[in-house]
Amino acid sequence: MRLSGRVAAITGGALGIGRATALLFAEEGATLALGDIAAEAARTVAQEIVPGGGTAIAVGLDVGDAAQVQAFVDRVVGDFGRLDVMFANAGIAHSAPFLEHPEAQWHRVLRVNLTGVFLCCQAAARQMVRQGGGRIITTASINAFRGVENLVGYNAAKAGVIELTRTMAVELAP
């Protein structure tokens, strides 16, 4: 059990990569906090973990809202005493040709996929510095390295996540 005694927070933990990671982390012994805008779906994943002997909570979370992100991290630390792993995974996409891509959808995708990652990682890193360490994982995409039509906001946000992650690594390494 490689994660026994570790507390992990996963954003976007209700579906897809987040759900699969939550189930795997639980198998490896982690205590989990699943943050997702789809709170009911996150609760369903948490309920899948508990019968196997795991510990998991689900929290409704809009990763683009700094106050909600801080409240999520505070809840994790309040409930479990620490935060060892932050997996900033929440993401969305909007498909439209570049020339027709609505500005509102551009902002929505960047708010979740880039600003949300920034806010989650910053709040987690502040806690991890206070407690003497931790691990931060982000989700990017191959789309960050090559243009994929009709996904301009998603592609740009995922490219930003890569550079954000590099910058965090350089600044937080000490």
In the residue annotation, 44 being an active-site residue is answered as: no
Q: Give the active site residue among 25, 87, 118, 154.
A: 154
Distance between alpha carbon 63 and the CA centroid of its chain, in Å?
A: 8
Distance between alpha carbon 87 and the CA centroid of its chain, in Å?
A: 5
Three-state SS for 3?
Answer: coil
Q: What is the 3-state secondary structure (H, E, C) of 58-123?
A: EEECCCCCHHHHHHHHHHHHHHHCCCCEEEECCCCCCCCCHHHCCHHHHHHHHHHHHHHHHHHHHH
* Active site residue ranges: 154
